[in-house]
Amino acid sequence: METHADKLHIFHPWSKEQPSTAPDLHDGALYQLEGSYVPIGQLFIIALLDPWPFGVGEVVAYGKNNEIKFRWYGCKGYSDTGKFLKGWIDNNNDTYYANEKTSPNHTPYYETDMVVHLSDVYYHSFKLSNGGRIHPQLLHAIRSNEQIKLTKEAGKADELEANKTQMQGSGPRRSTRSKRKR
């Protein structure tokens, strides 16, 4: 039997988050690394402070000095393997994540008082799966990134839900960890 090691692809075991191990051969590069322009309409990832391991946003416009105007995406439990959906603000000024707004009066959840610049972006121009999850190869890159600290609490929705009242009113905060080397 003859094998060709250069024809193999990285194995990702089946799980709830990854129901198929088939590689996506039609996407080419699954994501772009930091240091390049993020086109309007594309998703990006930035590092945040605990309990949020990282933030996912969609570029809607650019301000001065490469300031990104964006819409938040999020998931229940702040899990890196969660289902990321569009952010919305309801009539009580509370945020929630869903593919579609639950009321015609609800508005998209755009950036808050957080200023995000192009230099804050770690990964961009990726697509979520049909189920709203981050592709395993990008997830591996995120987990390997020393600047994005996944906490042991990430993904434990029940524990975080119990503490939700303590965190109410405090949205995601950008990481102030050491600057990346360029």
Per-residue pLDDT, 175: 47
Please give the Cα distance from 152 to 23 (Å, whole number). 29
Interval 69-80: pLDDT, tens = 999 999 877 788
Higher pLDDT, 15 or 113: 113
User: Which sequence spans correspond to the domains of the chain?
Assistant: 30-162
Q: Mean pLDDT for the chain?
A: 75
pLDDT of 17 > 90? The answer is no
pLDDT at 152: 47
Give the pLDDT confidence score for residue 1 in this predicted structure. 63
pLDDT of residue 5: 63
**Residue 155 pLDDT more than 50?**
no
Q: Are 65 and 117 in contact (CB under 8 A)?
A: yes
